[in-house]
Structure formats: structure tokens, C-alpha cells
A = this chain, B = another copy of it.
Amino acid sequence: MSATDAARGLEAHEPITDEELALAARNHGMPLEGMRYDVTPTGLHYLLIHFDIPAADAETWSIEIGGRVARPLRLSVGDLRARPAVTMPVTMECAGNGRARLEPRPLSQAWLDEAIGTGEWTGTSLAPILEEAGVEADAVEVVFRGADHGVQGEIEQDYERSLSIADATRDEVILAYELNGHPLPPQHGFPVRLLVPGWYGMTSVKWLRSITVVAEPFDGFQMWAYRLRQHEEEEGTPVTRMMPRALMIPPGFPDFFTRKRTVDAGVITLEGRAWSGWGSVTRVEVSVDGGEAWTDAGLAEPQGAHGWRAWTYEWTAEPGAHELLVRATDEAGNVQPSEQPWNEHGFSNNVVQRVPVLVRSSMTD
């Protein structure tokens, strides 16, 4: 495939381009203080929309289930709502989270740390629907097509992604029609989206129009784009599940423009959330000296099988400049790196967060 704007790299420290600004003005992350909520309030969850939010009418919307199936189906939103419902908190992260810190910086949505959120999603399991349709013996993948349409990498397309039959029929994979107890907002895929817990967000196709079982691996643009590679010509490896990450609610209060933080001296509780798509987070460590020494944080119970896990750490803040860090380890043994994992499109950058703060003497209060 041809070179894309998104793949064009920049030299170290090159400033943000007008195109990146236009994307940043449309899409948004979750302000990190939003981690105080177990479930992210609607409107704070991160958003990445490749093209435009399509117009949709729930009354007439339907999803075609076809391809290599014995009994093609067409399901309305009402049909989905009539099926057994499941509700679960799911932590989701954009595969490009952290991209803006890479050097050279891949040109795309320039995320810092905030492309995250935990929704309480309601939907119905996909596996029984595929079973009803009767997947043929030669099937290898399921292709999910959204109604969002545009050009990327010089290719006009509807947004499409695929999963293997095994991944598509996992218990937790649902067709979701509610977020936080209400019909999906337009920007999150109204009226129906795919939801694949544990995977980066690009997998959970919004505004779902069709589900097509295929006998060959799907090679659409978005399958090519979301791969880890060092050069455009490399085949690379697919981006799939979320690498572990812990984030901290920046303590104290900010400067409006610089976002630099001031903290009053004394004992304060640092807190945040941690998650991984590869299993439970088993350890969160905090450093309050720029990464020299690390101490275990306290962990709350995991929030369901696919939600984040709260952590806390009591810190005695002494006056002066400090750099706070936090890192997660998951049950598969993955630990967040101190160096950024650079790749051509800037995916899966789970380098540890660094929060510089200035602690002032409580005398100045």
C-alpha cells in the first residue's frame, strides 16, 4: 500500500501541525482527573473518530450478517434488544495513546496520556448470533463494517476491521447499544457498535452496519494501518490487546496554560487507575523521585473482568520540585517500560507517565 500522511514521520521535537490541531479540536481525551469516577461520565470518555459521525436512525437501522454463513440474518436494534443483555464496565484505550511523545512523532491524532475511558456498556453477545447464522467450515475471520466513510491512506473506504473466528466468538464480545444506561451517544456509535473488551479501541467498530464471515484473512486498510512496524515496507505485527498502563490523577492544582502543578506540602494520597488487555493488573508501583526508587501502591479490587483497577499511594510531599511516576505490571508479566516503544504509526506506547509537580511549603497557605 502507498505511503500515508499518517505514516510520514517528523524529526525530534518538530512542532504540532495544523492537521494535528484540527484532529485534536474534534477528538478528545479524558481529562485525567476523570479517573476519580469508577465509570467515566458520558462525554469524558476519549473519542477518536476517523471520518465523520454518520447520521443514524435507530428505527430503520439494521445489521446484515452474511458471507460464509448458512443462514444470513438481518437484525434491527429491536431484535438486538430482545436478546439476552449483558452490562459490564470496560476500560478502553486508543492504540495511539502516547503518540505525541514519540520522537520522531508519527503524524496522526497527537495523544499525550489521556486517550482512555471506562464505559458501562450494555449489549448482547455476538457468539450466539454467529451460531444462529451458522458459520461455514471454511470461515477464518469476521469483518465488521461501520457506516463512517472517508479517505485514509488515499483509499476511500467505510471503516472496517476484522477478528479471527476465535476472537469474535469470545464470551465478552458484544454488540453494544447502551453506554452508562442510555442509548449510545452518536459519537460512540449510535445505535449499535461492536465492543471487544481488552483490545485497543480501533477494534470496536462503531455505527455497525454489517458482519461478514470470510474465508480469507481480511486485508482492508485499517488492518494494514494498525500494525507495529519500524518502516512502511515491513509487514509488521497486528496491534491487538492493550498493553498494561497505570495513570495518576495529577495532584494539586494546575496553571491554565502550562498545566504545571502546585501541591501543598504534607501527606497526600496519590491515586489513579491501571489496566491491561493481557490479564489483571497485579502490581502498581510509584516513584516520587523521578524513577530512582519504586514502592508498591495499594490496589483496590479489579472492576469486573474488563474494567480498570484503582490504586492509591500515600505520599509525604516535601517542598521542592518532584517528578512522580507510576507503572503497572499485569498477570502475564508485562511491565510498563521506561523507554518508549517507537514504531512507524505510534501505537502501543505505554511508557510510564511522568508528572512533574512543585510542592510549596504549607506556610504559604
Contact = CB atoms under 8 A, between A and B. Distances in A.
A19 interface: yes
A152 interface: yes
A257 B42 contact: no
A258 B49 CA distance: 14
A315 interface: no
Contacts of A256: 6, 50-51, 150-152
Given A15-B15, A31-B52, A253-B51, A44 B185 contact: yes
A200 interface: no
B112 A258 contact: no
B257 A19 contact: yes
Interface stretch (A22-30, A68-76, A137-145): A22-30
Copy number in this complex? 2
Nearest to A49: B31
A42 B112 contact: no
Interface in A8-37: 15-29, 31, 33-34, 36-37
A100 B55 CA distance: 28
Contacts of A15: 15-18
Contact of A25 (B34, B112, B150): B112
Contact of A185 (B26, B43, B262): B43
B152 A186 contact: no
B44 A187 contact: yes
B42 A151 contact: no
Q: Considering residues A107, A255, A259, which has the most beta carbons from chain B within 10 angstroms of its beta carbon?
A: A255
A362 interface: no
Contacts of A29: 25-26
A136 B33 CA distance: 40
A100 B151 contact: no
A118 interface: no
Contact of A186 (B18, B37, B262): B37
Contacts of A111: 25
Contacts of A151: 253-256, 262
29 contacts: A6-B256, A15-B15, A15-B18, A19-B258, A19-B259, A20-B21, A22-B259, A23-B259, A25-B111, A26-B28, A31-B52, A31-B187, A33-B52, A33-B53, A34-B186, A42-B43, A43-B44, A44-B185, A44-B186, A51-B254, A51-B256, A52-B250, A52-B253, A107-B257, A108-B257, A151-B256, A152-B256, A152-B257, A156-B253
CB-based closest 9 A-B pairs: A43-B43, A28-B28, A15-B15, A16-B16, A24-B24, A152-B256, A5-B257, A151-B255, A150-B253
Interface of A: 4-6, 15-29, 31, 33-34, 36-37, 41-45, 47, 49-53, 55, 100, 107-108, 110-112, 114, 149-152, 156, 185-188, 250, 253-259, 262
